[in-house]
Chain A
Amino acid sequence: MKTMVAKKVSLYGFLTAAALLFGYVEYLVPLNFIAPGIKLGISNGIVLFLIIKSKYKAAIIINIARILLSGFLFATPFSLIFSLTAGVISTVAMILLNQFKGFGVVGISVLGGTVHNIVQICVAYFTVGGGVVFYLPFLLFAGILAGMAVGFLVWIMLNKTNKIFDEI
């Protein structure tokens, strides 16, 4: 029993650290030359990985932990609100889509990416103003492309990793 708990805690810690690391790599190598604020969201891949394995509690906890920690490490309180809102809502959206058998990893990932960006635009709309709506189509496209890339990466992850993560 004790070893089970220890195993769980270490898995949570490992995945949170991995998500943080991916996020940090993206912070260091920004894709801003495509459009401001564009991110691939590899760290969201960890969350997607857990969702497809139906580990919803772990997905939500690790995502919130990742966003809070990276917020304290390299973000402003303002951008923390942005990423926390978008992160939680897109996670819930992916969990909902995972209830349907007909969707593949890419579909769930694309929904996560687009919902994430739509929520960010909505938050921006209420804080900055209406002008940001023009930006929505580009962020939608970005969400689709990033979602496809992350979905593909997660699909590889799902097929390469062994059963160790099933115990989370």
Chain B
Amino acid sequence: MNRKLVTWLDILLIVLFVILSITIILVFSSSGEGNKAVISVDEKIIGEYSLNTDLTREIKTDYGFNTVVILNGECFVLDADCRDGICISRGKISKVGESIVCLPHKLIVEIK
């Protein structure tokens, strides 16, 4: 029995597998941080805001109001007078394709 416990080739093999795992994680988990939040009401776009600039905007419509906040590259609904409050509990979004929907107010915030 002359096979060694660990060789440099073993370590190379392990490193390759680790790189493969990390690559898969990167490819699948962050399909890219988004760079803008697109807000629409009744399927009409009412504003596009860069995620790089912090801002607070109160969107008032006939349905009610939603306070949309952009902070540190993330977007969330801080406050709203909708009946379910789902838009507030949705939390922060920042990745391409993520969205916050407020059904009672027909409001959609989507990251692009």
Interface residues of A (CB under 8 A from B): 52-53, 100, 102-107, 110-111, 114, 133-134, 136-138, 140-141, 143-144, 148, 151-152, 155, 158-159
Complex interface: stretch among B18-26, B39-47, B61-69, B91-99: B18-26
- Nearest CB in chain A to that of B18: its residue: A144
* Complexed CA–CA distance, A143 and B21 (Å): 11
Flag if B17 contacts A105 (CB, 8 Å): no
| Chain B residues within 8 Å of A, Cβ to Cβ | 1, 3-10, 13-14, 17-18, 20-22, 24-25, 28-29
- Measured between beta carbons, the chain A residues less than 8 angstroms from B22 are 137
A103 to B13, CA, bound (A): 9
Is B5 a contact partner of A110 (Cβ separation < 8 A)?
Answer: no
Is there contact, CB below 8 Å, between A140 and B6? no
The reply to whether B17 and A104 form a contact with Cβ atoms under 8 Å apart is: no
User: Which of A105, A133, A144 contacts B5 (CB under 8 A)?
Assistant: A105
Tell me the minimal C-beta distance from B1 to chain A in angstroms.
5
Q: How far is the CA of A155 from the CA of B25 in the complex (A)?
A: 32
In whole angstroms, what is the CA distance A136 to B24 when docked? 8
Name the distance in Å between A166's Cβ and chain B's nearest Cβ. Answer: 10
Whether the pair A107, B9 counts as a contact (CB closer than 8 A) is: yes
A140 and B28 CA atoms in complex are apart in Å by: 15
Contacts of A137 on B, CB cut-off 8 Å? 21-22, 24-25
B4 near A104 with CB under 8 A, answer yes
